[in-house]
């Protein structure tokens, strides 16, 4: 038996008037998911424990079978594992977003508005140039920057302190003053980064090309060095992570899973969907992994952008360019297999950030043929009455039911 999780990050949503009162998942044309649903279990799962913030960090730990209340030590430390940062026990890792803030003349940094948490999904190559620009000013024996992927980077603070800082995607369109870090050193670093980056030649060229400037850093997601149990020892299954983002790769590194590097996978709408599907089929059938976790970031990014059409498009491409080729490849092999499809958390268009609402999941088993009237969307999942209250137990359904 082979096992697959296809996770559309932030795919769940709320009914939208422009879509005729349907969610993007319900509105999207998803013939493969529709086909699988007819013989699948469909229900809801609570991936965010009560009292914890709804993030891809806590939610994906849950989906992989790690109780966030036990294993979570902060978001950025998980990303640091993927980047290869040599964290020490007294180090604090912080996510360093390259963001766009407003650039009105003669106002203090605290009065600026956050426009885009991703700086128009800046490329890793461009972001690396900007990180290099701030390094000489901020780096020393205490602070070190590490380049990640696209707008997502890492700052290590030796002997630092963990305090909660609001993620930039939670305050899009808001004045930033009330959300800046309590720690003076971090706040001053963010403020000075604007002075360095706003008129950097790269940003002037971006503005001339009609792109948003990547004109500030935003520090958040602080945490300590993580400790995850080995995935194979925990589940008895060998597994591979297929994702464009360092958070998911870092979880896999911490759990001693294999990690696929797919060329052209970038965490955006125009990622290499087919490459991810091919990597999963190869890992399962040729490299003899038991389990593949395919993570697609695009629905979440489109939710943060508030882009209805592109969120629908990302779900349709997930269906046709990931789920279908994975299903076809496994079916043609003659192997028995199970595929679970779900989001980690909702990212509603209305809010442009995450919520803790339960997410719809679908579990398909190639050995089961009993027909149902199931369809895969939020409202139908709620109507089935099947609820997994502890999301970290969801993986038991995949491996053991």
The residue among 360 and 225 whose pLDDT is bigger is 360
CB neighbour list of residue 400: distance below 8 Å, 6 or more residues apart: none
Q: What confidence tier does 401 reach under pLDDT thresholds 50, 70, 90?
A: low
In the numeric block, the tokens 């609402």 are attached to: 357
Supply the pLDDT for residue 86: 86
Is 2-72+229-400 a CATH 3.40.720.10 domain?
Answer: yes
Supply the pLDDT for residue 340: 98
> What is the distance between the alpha carbons of residues 6 and 339, in angstroms, rounded to a whole number?
7
R_g of the chain computed on alpha carbons: 21
CB neighbour list of residue 167: distance below 8 Å, 6 or more residues apart: 55, 117, 220, 221, 353
| pLDDT, tens only, 260-314 | 999 999 999 999 999 999 999 999 999 999 999 999 999 999 999 999 999 999 9
| pLDDT, tens only, 69-95 | 999 999 999 999 999 998 998 999 999
Q: Is the pLDDT of residue 152 over 90?
A: yes
Asked whether 93 and 73 are in contact (CB, 8 A), the reply is: no
> What is the distance between the alpha carbons of residues 296 and 203, in angstroms, rounded to a whole number?
28
Q: Across the beta sheet with 239-242, what order do the strands follow? A: 258-260, 239-242, 291-296, 2-8, 337-342, 359-365, 41-45, 387-388
- According to DSSP, the β-strands at 359-365 and 143-149 are unpaired
> What is the distance between the alpha carbons of residues 172 and 216, in angstroms, rounded to a whole number?
14
Structure tokens at 83: 């980047």
Structure tokens at 224: 């300590």
> What is the distance between the alpha carbons of residues 325 and 277, in angstroms, rounded to a whole number?
6
pTM of the model: 0.87
At residue 214, the 3 state secondary structure works out as coil
Asked whether 314 and 12 are in contact (CB, 8 A), the reply is: no
Asked whether 122 and 136 are in contact (CB, 8 A), the reply is: no
| pLDDT, tens only, 230-241 | 999 999 999 999
> What is the distance between the alpha carbons of residues 264 and 124, in angstroms, rounded to a whole number?
12
Supply the pLDDT for residue 329: 98
Per-domain residue ranges of the chain: 2-72+229-400, 83-223
Structure tokens at 389: 């209250």
| pLDDT, tens only, 107-119 | 999 999 999 999 9
């Amino acid at each position: 038996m082979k096992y697959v999780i296809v996770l559309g990050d932030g795919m769940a949503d709320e009914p939208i008037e422009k879509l005729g009162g349907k969610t993007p998942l319900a509105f999207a044309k998803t013939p493969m998911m529709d086909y699988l649903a007819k013989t699948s279990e469909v229900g809801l799962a609570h991936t965010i424990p009560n009292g914890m913030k709804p993030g891809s960090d806590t939610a994906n730990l849950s989906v992989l079978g790690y109780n966030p209340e036990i294993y979570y030590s902060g978001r950025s430390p998980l990303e640091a594992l993927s980047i290869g940062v040599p964290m020490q026990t007294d180090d604090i890792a912080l996510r360093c977003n390259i963001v766009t803030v407003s650039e009105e003349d003669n106002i203090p940094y605290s009065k600026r508005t956050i426009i885009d948490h991703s700086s128009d999904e800046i490329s890793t190559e461009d972001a690396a140039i900007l990180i290099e620009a701030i390094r000489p000013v901020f780096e020393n024996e205490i602070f070190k920057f590490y380049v990640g992927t696209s707008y997502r980077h890492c700052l290590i603070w030796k002997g630092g302190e963990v305090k909660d800082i609001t993620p930039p995607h939670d305050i899009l369109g808001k004045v930033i003053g009330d959300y800046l870090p309590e720690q003076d050193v971090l706040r001053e670093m963010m403020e000075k980064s604007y002075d360095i980056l706003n008129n950097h030649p790269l940003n002037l060229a971006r503005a001339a090309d009609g792109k948003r400037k990547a004109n500030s850093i935003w520090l958040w997601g602080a945490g300590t060095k993580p400790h995850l149990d080995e995935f194979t020892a925990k589940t008895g299954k060998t597994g591979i992570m297929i994702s464009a983002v360092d958070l998911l790769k870092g979880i896999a590194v911490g759990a001693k899973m294999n990690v696929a590097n797919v060329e052209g996978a970038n965490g955006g709408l125009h990622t290499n969907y087919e490459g991810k599907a091919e990597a999963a089929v190869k890992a399962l059938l040729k490299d003899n992994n038991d389990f593949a976790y395919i993570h697609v970031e695009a629905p979440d990014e489109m939710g943060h952008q508030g882009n209805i059409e592109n969120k629908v498009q990302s779900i349709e491409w997930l269906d046709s360019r990931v789920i279908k080729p994975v299903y076809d490849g496994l079916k043609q092999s003659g192997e028995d297999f199970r595929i679970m499809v779900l989001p980690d958390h909702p990212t509603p268009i209305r809010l442009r950030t995450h919520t803790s609402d339960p997410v719809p999941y679908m579990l398909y088993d190639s050995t089961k043929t009993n027909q149902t009237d199931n369809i895969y969307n939020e409202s139908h999942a709620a109507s089935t009455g099947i609820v997994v209250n502890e999301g970290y137990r969801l993986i038991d359904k995949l491996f053991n039911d």
